[in-house]
Structure 1
Amino acid sequence: MGNPRRSNDAFSKAVDAEHPQFVSAVARAFAILRCFEHGEHYLGNQEIAKRTGLPKPTVSRFAFTLSSLGYLRYSPEQENYALGTGVLVLGRAFLKGNDLLSIARPLMQELAKYTQSAVMLGAADGLRMVVIEVAQGDPTFQMKLETGERVPHGSTALGRAVLAARPLEVFDERLAELERECEPAAWPKIRASIVGARQEYESYGFCFSLGDWNPDVYAIGVPMLSADRTRVLAFNCSGRISIMTREKLIQDFGPKLVALRNTVYEATEGRF
């Protein structure tokens, strides 16, 4: 007896909780860890249950187990949980052991300095993007984003670039997922911007976010698809609108961001 066949295309479908190899207990544990947003220290069982949709007794058991393993830390004084050092160890192992980052960092810093902007690398994290690396090129106007923070898909250049790289049928599925999470009144504008970004990617090789996420910031994004189609990342370039004009983005910064992506891809041979 062999393992059930696994799809080689990570874009073919979303997480399949009904798959025979999907372990729901593991998924619940990670759902609890992902409740802790940037800047949040302590969360109680009730808040965790609210965010995950899990019953409080389930949260209590999983939180106890995670704290026993060092991934959460319980404070008797607060009567709440905080992230433990085990999470830091995993994150550091990822950052230090990733050849992609060692290749991309100096190139990102060089482009950030040239464009006087922030150059970022990100990956899809559910319905949002997680920032993997940031290079700042303008000491007087820095994007207040750090490694590990999450940003929206629909309004950022990082998120739009990843969506633009999806096959059309998966792109439509992602739109449906985003719509379910969005305020109904805001969805038509967000949808139009995402669809427009896909068209921009087809026309220019990159897509825009011109003040959509931050009114003071213009940005461009470009996706990077792994050779085996199991992963898609995105690079972006974000800066003040006085520097990041649409004309300059199209004629100069955009092509340079595409060239950075191509250099990283070739250096890693698409394995990341």
Structure 2
Amino acid sequence: MNEIIDLPREKGGEKDRKFVEALARGLDLLRAFSQQGGVLGNQDLARITGLPKPTISRLTYTLTQLGYLTYSKHLEKYQLDVGVLALGYAYTSNLNVRKIAKPYMEKMATQANVSVGLTIRERLSMIYVENCRNEKTQALRMDVGSRLPLATSSSGRAFLAGLSDDERQQILSLMEQHSGDHWPAWQESISKAIDEYQEKGFCTSLGDWSKDVNAVAVPLKLLDGRVMAINCGGPKYLISDEMIMQSLGPQLVHVVRDIEATGV
């Protein structure tokens, strides 16, 4: 699924005069690096974003001058520079829920020998903003900034299940536009996940995101109206379907309720 997707640039059928197209293109170009690898040339970026090569050249030059990209003369390609890291650090350091949730996540990770992650939606992905694991176990290792697909991961399904009907439908419509032949299967799995959440309080992904991984997630609803998701899981040879359904899922529901009770 291509994450370099068109965002709403029109209102009521007319072009949105407040929308800065040049800025949007520059940000789309930066997103390309997180989707397609760490080192990209102008030709790669043109292919990924669909932007004309002259536009790409101007954007990469500008972003390099501003410290968001750096150019390798040897490879004749670009990679993200420290300016992007500074923005990411500023965001995560000011994310209050991350600080509040971490002790609860660490406790479950230690007691259950699993990886426990806090994720937030970014377009058609869920991104880790915190991850806790017991270093002595073989729990799934996902670094901050790692992405999960919205459609097939437990986090993505839990996020969708936690939305209002109108909010969910907006995102589902966007997913349908960019999912191609995958949509019928994804639509069915998301519908089942919503039913699962209403019945059990959690959403599962039993080999759906990765055939070797079982995971479960619960939506985390913040007081400001945002919805995040907390997941846990691990390799199938350690985390069985039964363990997910009978033990980890219910435990995670209690963890999320304890975090929400703090008033985040």
TM over 0.5: yes
Is 1:168 the counterpart of 2:160? The answer is: no
1:179 maps to 176
Alignment of 1:87 with 2:84, yes or no, is: yes
- Stretch moving more, 249-258 or 202-211: 249-258
Select which of 115, 135, 156 maps to 1:118.
Answer: 115
Contact 2:139-2:235 within 8 A present in 1 as well: no
Which whole-Å CA distance do the structure 2 matches of 1:24 and 1:73 have between them? 23
**Contact kept? 2:133, 2:141, Cα under 8 Å:** no
- Give me the whole-angstrom Cα distance separating, in 2, the residues matched to 1:33 and 1:105: 29
Please report the TM-score for the alignment, with normalisation by the length of structure 1: 0.85
Deviation readout 1:232-265 (Å, 9 max, x if unpaired): 2110011233554444434432232122222323
Alpha carbons 1:204, 1:250 under 8 Å: kept: no
Please give the secondary structure, in 1, of the residue aligned with 2:32: coil
Distance 1:82 1:25, change over 3 A: same
Q: Identity of aligned pairs, percent?
A: 37
What's 2:259 paired with? 264
| Aligned ranges 1:1-272 → 2 under 5 Å | 15-18=7-10, 19-37=16-34, 40-137=37-134, 139-184=136-181, 186-229=182-225, 231-267=226-262, 269-270=263-264
Cα displacement (A) at 1:33: 0.8
Between the two proteins, the alignment pairs up a number of residues equal to 254
Instruction: Go from structure 1 to structure 2 and tell me whether the alpha carbon gap of 1:15 and 1:262 turns closer, same or farther (over 3 Å shift).
Output: farther
Over 3 Å counting, the alpha-carbon distance change for 1:22 and 1:41 in structure 2 is same
Amino acid of the residue matched to residue 50 of structure 1? R
Moved more, 174-183 or 150-159: 174-183
Tell me which of the two structures has the higher relative contact order, counting C-alpha pairs closer than 8 angstroms and 6 or more residues apart: 1
The superposition leaves residues 164-184 of structure 1 with CA deviations (integer Å, 9 ceiling, x where unpaired) of 122223323333322332241
Unaligned segments of structure 2, at least 5 residues: 1-5, 11-15
CA RMSD of aligned residues (A): 2.2
Residues 162-210 of structure 1 deviation map (CA, whole Å, 9 limit, x = unaligned): 11122223323333322332241x4332221111001111111111111
Closer, same or farther: CA 38–46 of 1 in aligned 2, 3 Å:
closer
The one-letter code sitting in structure 2 at the alignment partner of 1:209 is S
2:101/2:259 contact within 8 Å kept: yes
Q: 1:227 to 1:206 in 2, by over 3 A?
A: same
* Residues 244 and 78 of structure 1, relative CA distance in 2, 3 Å threshold: closer
Write the letter of the residue equivalent to 1:117: V
Alignment partners' CA distance in 2, 1:38 and 1:31: 11
Q: Distance in 2 between matches of 1:39 and 1:141?
A: 28
Change (3 A) 1:263 1:20: farther
Secondary structure of residue in 2 paired with 1:148: coil
By how many angstroms is 1:113 displaced? 1.6
Tell me the amino acid that sits aligned with residue 192 of structure 2.
G
TM-superposed deviation, 1:20: 4.0
Whole-Å separation in 1 of the counterparts to 2:207 and 2:83: 38
